[in-house]
Amino acid sequence: MKAEKIVLRKMRMTLKSPFQTSFGTQTVRDFILVEVHTRDFVGYGECVVSGEPLYSEETVETAWHIMEDFLVPMLFEYGELAHPDEVGRLFAPIRRNNMAKSALEGAYWDLYAKQQGIPLARALGGTKDRIEVGVSLGIEADINDLFRNVEKYLELGYRRMKIKIAPGKDVEVIRALRQRFGGIPMMADANSAYTLRDVDVLKQLDEFDLMMIEQPLAHDDIIDHAKLQRELKTPICLDESIHSYEDARKAIELGSTRIINMKVGRVGGLSEAKRIHDLCVEKGIPLWCGGMLESGIGRAHNIAVTTLPNFTLPGDTAGSSRYWQEDIIDPEVEVAADGTIAVPQAPGIGFAPVPDLLDKYTTAVNVMKRG
């Protein structure tokens, strides 16, 4: 695979409804799409940054700079790649900036699968032809709106409900949901809104038989999560704390996490995600695929990675209509009535961007050519 042209697109898509978490409310998604053009194929990747550095340190502007000024020139200079695993090794001297790295590496995985004439899922070693999915539901001012959202997605067949919590919007919200919906598969995501001083509040959540509590403590911690896990019955699931295979190895060794939310962009790409997957098989740590409110391109990559065997819990890969009036891909991602998504059998990511819609939501383009 030798890139002749790499296209960076700043994208802005408006969410159907605001998405509130413990660290803010999103109404639009600002992100980046990348296209890697070789002589025969085009590979697509999504950079899952936001406009503001609230989930991680990366933003549209930092990723644009790192790709434009470092990663793309490195790819042009390197020339012919035989396998996408080489991309991560090439980018290794660049510190962090995982979402920027992941977008370009994901495009090379798409290219590789297209070149082999196989679905990306198979190229990754995936073993499933359908994946089970859940949905992530934001914080609502009026709990009746949250009830309506849970009802809606239960009726649509989604396999588990992820409920955003924050101090003051936690125990009573989960209690009310249990009273109304009984023992449905349910988890909570705190997005680092608590500290060890809140251990008594978090212990109260133990009575509700949640599947897990996601990232209760600081985004860059594994020590305090290990202390907290010793106090809780409910499994802790780490998201923001896990940026690499090494982070996962240390967190598992310390007992900081019993489940991992895998986000391909957060860990720097599909090759690293596969390494973490294999570590979790060895350590008996189940995985599920998180989301970053992706467009259909990022959603396609998430579907493929979820076909790896140790993704045993429903993830956040909802259908395109969860967030978008219209997605930029054809066909859109659909969730069947049984809460599953069919894994595309076409070569590559299995979804094609719609040119007119790409242009409609593009706010800036940089076409970079070799030479």
Ligand X SMILES: O=C(O)CCC(=O)C1=CC=C[C@@H](O)[C@@H]1C(=O)O
User: Which residues form the catalytic set?
Assistant: 164, 263
CA dist 6 → 19, 104, 296, 359, 367 (Å): 32, 9, 19, 16, 6
Helices (H) and strands (E) in the chain, counts: 14, 15
Closer residue to ligand X, CB minimum distance, 1 or 280: 280
Rounded-to-integer distance, Cα 12 and Cα 33, Å = 10
- Shortest distance, position 238 Cβ to ligand X, whole Å: 11
DSSP state of 214: E
Backbone angles phi, psi at 128, to 5 degrees: -115, 150
CA nearest neighbour of 67 among 43, 41, 98, 44: 98
CA dist 204 → 201, 209, 369 (Å): 5, 11, 57
Contact between 100 and ligand X by CB under 6 A: the answer reads: no
Contact between 191 and ligand X by CB under 6 A: the answer reads: yes
Closer residue to ligand X, CB minimum distance, 126 or 314: 314
Decide if 353 contacts 322 (C-beta within 8 A).
no
User: For the chain, how many residues are written?
Assistant: 371
Contact between 239 and Mg ion by CB under 5 A: the answer reads: yes
> Between β-strands 352-353 and 329-330, what pairing exists: parallel, antiparallel or unpaired?
antiparallel
| 332 labeled binding residue | no
Q: Which stretch binds ligand X (CB under 6 A): 73-81, 166-174, 248-256, 284-292?
A: 284-292
Taking residues 236 to 255 in sequence order and writing x for each that binds ligand X by CB under 6 A, - otherwise, the string is: ---x----------------
Q: Which stretch binds ligand X (CB under 6 A): 3-11, 35-43, 201-209, 290-298?
A: 290-298
Within positions 135 to 174, which residues make up the interface with ligand X, using CB under 6 A?
Answer: 136
- Longest Cα separation, the chain: 64
What is the number of the residue whose Cβ is closest to Mg ion? 239
- Shortest distance, position 198 Cβ to Mg ion, whole Å: 17
| 85 labeled binding residue | no
What is the number of the residue whose Cβ is closest to ligand X? 291
Decide which of ligand X, Mg ion, none touches 292; Cβ closer than 5 to 8 Å per partner kind.
ligand X
| 239 labeled binding residue | yes
Contact between 35 and ligand X by CB under 6 A: the answer reads: no
- Shortest distance, position 327 Cβ to ligand X, whole Å: 13
Decide if 140 contacts 149 (C-beta within 8 A).
yes
Give every CB contact of residue 264 below 8 A, 6+ residues apart in sequence: 102, 106, 270, 273, 289, 301, 302, 305
Residue choice 163, 292, 308, 328 for contact with ligand X (CB under 6 A): 292
Closer residue to ligand X, CB minimum distance, 191 or 307: 191
Contact between 38 and ligand X by CB under 6 A: the answer reads: no
Rounded-to-integer distance, Cα 124 and Cα 157, Å = 27
Residue choice 87, 163, 242, 293 for contact with ligand X (CB under 6 A): 293
Residue choice 35, 105, 110, 189 for contact with ligand X (CB under 6 A): 189
Which burial class, exposed, middle or buried, applies to 352 when counting CB atoms under 10 A from its CB (0-12, 13-18, 19+)? middle
Contact between 221 and ligand X by CB under 6 A: the answer reads: no
Which residues sit at the interface with Mg ion, rule CB under 5 A? 189, 214, 239
Annotated binding site for Mg(2+): 189, 214, 239
Which residues sit at the interface with ligand X, rule CB under 6 A? 21, 55, 136, 189, 191, 239, 290-293, 316, 318
